Amino acid sequence: MLLEFVQAFILLYVIMDPLLSLAAFFSLTKGIPKGECRKIATQAVLIAAVPLFLFIYIGNGILTVLSVSMGSFEVAGGIILILLGVQMALGITFPREHEDNDRSAIAVVIGTPLITGPAVIATSILLADKFGRETTALAGLAALFGMWLVLRFASLIHGRLGRTGIKVLSTMMGIITIAWGVDFIRTGLAA
């Protein structure tokens, strides 16, 4: 069981991609006070936990009841990733309605589709089938905790990387995010 837990944790954590989430977090929280950023980090991980655990326990059933194929889910997630990637790569900010809603919207975008996106959801369904729901849930919890640590200490990481490092990271990760979005759409359409 320990080996299965470690394998599931590593797979989920790698797919959650802390570097991508960190770059997006920097981009989306620009100009927001550190205390608020910490709240957004916690909120984002809590938001990410909801679909992760839902799909671990009842994933196939949810998609069947909603008559949504995994392919359609991947296309929708891909579109969101492309928009986020354009924002990260070009430094473009999309218009926002209200400042309080912005922080919730940031947490939602980081939480899903970035932390728990189509790839994590599909993987969690497969891992639950292969290793069991409990092992997959524990691995998911550990991966989410790792993501929370990365986002929680974003300002420390920001200090280490500096403005130029963050800009380079954000641009690179934006391009990769666009590529993943395109790949999700391509895979979803092929399905």
What one-character-per-residue DSSP string does 15-34 give? Answer: HH-HHHHHHHHHHHTTTS-H
* pLDDT of the residue at 179: 84
- Residue 143 amino acid letter: A
Average pLDDT rounded to a whole number, residues 16-36: 84
Of the CA atoms within 13 Å of residue 98, those in its CB half-sphere come to 3
Task: Determine the straight-line distance between the first and last CA of the chain, rounded to whole angstroms.
Answer: 33
Q: In terms of pLDDT, which residue wins out, 71 or 77?
A: 71
By residue count, the chain amounts to 191
Q: Is the pLDDT of residue 122 over 70?
A: yes
pTM: 0.73
Q: In terms of pLDDT, which residue wins out, 191 or 142?
A: 142
3-state secondary structure of 56: helix
Which distant-in-sequence residues (6+ apart) come within 8 Å of 153 by Cβ? none
Say if residues 12 and 139 touch (Cβ distance below 8 Å).
yes
Domain boundaries, the chain: 2-190
Structure confidence at residue 56 as a pLDDT band (50, 70, 90): very high
- The H-assigned helical ranges of 17-153 are 18-28, 34-65, 70-90, 99-109, 118-131, 133-152
Which distant-in-sequence residues (6+ apart) come within 8 Å of 53 by Cβ? 137, 140
Average pLDDT rounded to a whole number, residues 40-45: 96
Q: In terms of pLDDT, which residue wins out, 19 or 43?
A: 43
Say if residues 127 and 11 touch (Cβ distance below 8 Å).
yes
Average pLDDT rounded to a whole number, residues 147-166: 84
* pLDDT of the residue at 191: 75
